[in-house]
Each structure stands twice: as structure tokens, then as C-alpha cells.
Amino acid sequence: MPKIIPIRDLKNTSEISQMCKEETEPIYVTKNGYGDMVIMSMKMYEEKMFMLDVYNKLIASEEQITEGKILDGDNSLKSIRKKYNV
């Protein structure tokens, strides 16, 4: 269940910081009863950005497969081995 707090609670920064570290989901901040901001810990932000990067790379690779931009694995390894004398 998402954590929702009013904007006036942001005055207590150390409590908010601790809350962000304890929560496993972003915290939603409301202003006058409406959604205004979302806050989260740095760790959670970095995890979300990492997963976003992974998803974007998966989408790009699926597009390359549908466009036929693929290489044969055996031939690719052979050319790398030949290039670097391995």
C-alpha cells in the first residue's frame, strides 16, 4: 500500500529521510488533497534507474531481432578470437 503524506509533514526532514529509507516504495506527497510530489531514497532511485536501463536495453534488443539485425554467435566468437589471437 503506498505511503501518502501531506506536504506540511516535509518540515521534519530527518523523519522524512528515515521514512524514505524504511519504505520499499516511493512516498507520495499531497498538497491541498491532490498529488504533488513523489520522494524516495537514493538507493531506491538508483535501483529504479538501473531497472529502467535494463528494460530500455531489452526493448532495443527486441527491435534489433525483429529488424533482422542479428549475428551468428559462433561466427562472432570466431572473429573475436581471430582478431585478438585467443
Considering the chain, tell me which residue range(s) the CATH 3.40.1620.10 domain(s) occupy: 1-40
Q: Which superfamily does 1-40 belong to?
A: YefM-like domain (3.40.1620.10)
Task: Give DSSP secondary structure letters for 51-66.
Answer: HHHHHHHHHHHHHHHH
Q: For residue 77, which amino acid is it?
A: L
Please write the tens of the pLDDT for every residue from 7-64.
999 999 999 999 999 999 999 999 999 999 999 999 999 999 999 999 999 999 999 9
For residue 67, give the DSSP letter.
T
pLDDT, mean of residues 69-75:
90
